[in-house]
């Protein structure tokens, strides 16, 4: 038995300690105790060094997660982040993802009742993640812009009822620049995000070739358009092109183009923006997360809201010095999407 040698060794140590204590006096006893204490310090130092090395490795290559359209469904969002290991299982739902990066690609609002609750929760998670070296990156979807503009066609009655009476007036104010949600969108949300280590480009809808050439301007243009929508001001033409069907908030080419055209298109876009993959929500893939063109395109809107009853899933990007492994994570499994070498288009 493997445990017997250990027990014999412990018996020998215990016998030695008793012998020294009884027959050699207190001075020898103190010497033996010093030896034990020294060994404890050595073991503790080794453990601390090992933990520090693991922590440094983790910090060097954080895992990146991406969650698509939530559409007002707090419970389903909780479920997905919970089985991904990013939030606790208790009622508080605190961040447990350590130094991981979570990217939420927009469309928190509409179709479900929990808009305010989700925005507040994401804000809390972002603060908690930052405290432990992680990050929650929050992006804007076309539905955030629609609500800022006063387009409430898809607003769930429960969303309106979450405000005190007069609820419509309170909600209208909340989505203006000085409202709680409006100010949060203007200060803490963007259109695009580029994660440097995995060389991954995230946004809600997608980049056409034209807008890929103007990628560096997109966040500023989007922020200004959001301000104009909130103020109900007239929109200059250059901002309205941003809002058109082939603009950054509505483009669906990566999801809908035929395979050959999509792969040719994304290869050129990745060359322009110097990235390895584009990741987006916006166009529902109800069976689950879908990759195209050998992982150069990853579509993560699975319709997880009860309004769609699609798959509950989250994208996970694991990495080391050379490779990025993309997986679709579900409650009962993880499916490999792609394994690609960094910088190799």
What pLDDT is stored for residue 58 in this prediction?
56
Determine contact, residues 71/107, Cβ cutoff 8 Å: yes
**CB neighbour burial string for 54-73, b if at least 16 within 10 angstroms, e if fewer:** eeeeeeeebbbbbbbbbbbb
Share of the chain above pLDDT 70, in %: 83
CB atoms within 10 A of CB 131: 8
CB atoms within 10 A of CB 305: 27
Decide if pLDDT at 26 tops 70.
no
Element (H, E) at 25: helix 25-60
Mean pLDDT within 137-148: 98
What pLDDT is stored for residue 293 in this prediction?
98
What pLDDT is stored for residue 30 in this prediction?
60
Parse the chain into domains and list their residue ranges: 1-60, 63-341
Give the span between the Cα atoms of 133 and 63, in whole angstroms. 12
Q: How would residue 60 be classed by pLDDT, with cut points 50, 70 and 90?
A: confident
What pLDDT is stored for residue 27 in this prediction?
57
pLDDT digits (tens, 9 = 90+) for 161-218: 999 999 999 999 999 999 999 999 999 999 999 999 999 999 999 999 999 999 999 9
DSSP one-letter string for 60-85: HS--EEEE---TT-HHHHHHHHHHTT
Residue range 63-341 in CATH 3.40.50.300: no
Entry pTM: 0.84
DSSP state of 164: P
Lowest mean pLDDT across 40-44, 175-179, 236-240, 246-250: 40-44
First and final C-alpha spacing in the chain: 54
């Amino acid at each position: 038995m493997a445990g017997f040698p250990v027990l014999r060794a412990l018996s020998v140590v215990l016998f030695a300690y008793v012998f020294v204590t009884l027959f050699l006096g207190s001075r020898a006893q103190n010497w033996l105790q010093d030896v034990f204490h020294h060994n404890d310090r050595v073991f503790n130092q080794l453990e601390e060094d090992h933990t520090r090395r693991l922590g440094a490795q983790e910090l060097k290559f954080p895992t990146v997660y991406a969650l698509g359209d939530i559409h007002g469904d707090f419970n389903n969002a909780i479920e997905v982040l919970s089985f991904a290991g990013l939030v606790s299982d208790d009622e508080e739902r605190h961040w447990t993802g350590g130094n991981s990066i979570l990217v939420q690609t927009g469309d928190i609002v509409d179709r479900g009742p929990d808009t305010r609750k989700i925005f507040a929760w994401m804000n809390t998670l972002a603060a908690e993640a930052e405290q432990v070296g992680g990050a929650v990156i929050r992006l804007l979807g076309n539905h955030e812009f629609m609500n800022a503009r006063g387009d409430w066609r898809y607003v769930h009655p429960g969303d309106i009822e979450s405000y005190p009476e007069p609820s419509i007036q309170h909600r209208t104010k909340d989505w203006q620049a000085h409202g709680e949600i409006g100010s949060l969108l203007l200060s803490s949300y963007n259109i695009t995000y580029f994660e440097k280590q995995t060389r991954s480009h995230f946004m809600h809808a997608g980049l056409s070739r034209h807008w890929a050439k103007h990628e560096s301007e997109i966040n500023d243009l989007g922020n200004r358009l959001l301000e104009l929508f909130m103020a109900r001001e007239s929109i200059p033409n250059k901002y309205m092109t941003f809002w058109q069907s082939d603009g950054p908030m509505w483009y669906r080419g990566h999801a809908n183009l035929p395979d050959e055209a999509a792969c040719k298109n994304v290869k050129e876009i990745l060359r322009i923006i110097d990235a390895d993959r584009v990741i987006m929500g916006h166009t529902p893939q109800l069976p689950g997360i879908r990759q195209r063109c050998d992982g150069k395109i990853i579509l993560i809107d699975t319709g997880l809201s009860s309004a769609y009853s699609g798959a509950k899933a989250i994208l996970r990007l694991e990495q080391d010095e050379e490779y990025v492994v993309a997986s679709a994570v579900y409650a009962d499994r993880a499916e490999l999407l792609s394994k690609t070498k960094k910088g190799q288009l």
